[in-house]
Amino acid sequence: MYVDEDLLEEITKRVIEEINKKHKTDDLPSYFIENGVAHKGKNIKEVVIGIGPAFGKHIKKTINGLDHKDVIKEIIAGIEEEGMVPRIVRVLKTSDVAFIGKEAALLSGSGIGIGLQSKGTTVIHQKDLYPLSNLELFPQAPLLNLELYREIGKNAARYAKGMMVKPILIQNDYMVRPKYQVKAAIMHIKETERILKNAQSIELAVDL
pLDDT, position 203? 97
Residue ranges of the chain whose pLDDT lies below 70: 1-29
pLDDT, position 25? 47
pLDDT, position 17? 61
- Alpha-carbon distance of 50 to 201, in angstroms, equals 9
pLDDT, position 93? 97
pLDDT, position 207? 78
- CATH number for the domain spanning 171: value is 3.40.50.10150
pLDDT, position 44? 97
- Alpha-carbon distance of 191 to 38, in angstroms, equals 20
Number of compact structural domains in the chain: 1
In 3D, which of 208, 182, 194, 207 has the Cα closest to residue 35? 207
Structural domain of residue 174, as residue ranges? 5-206
pLDDT, position 176? 80
pLDDT, position 1? 44
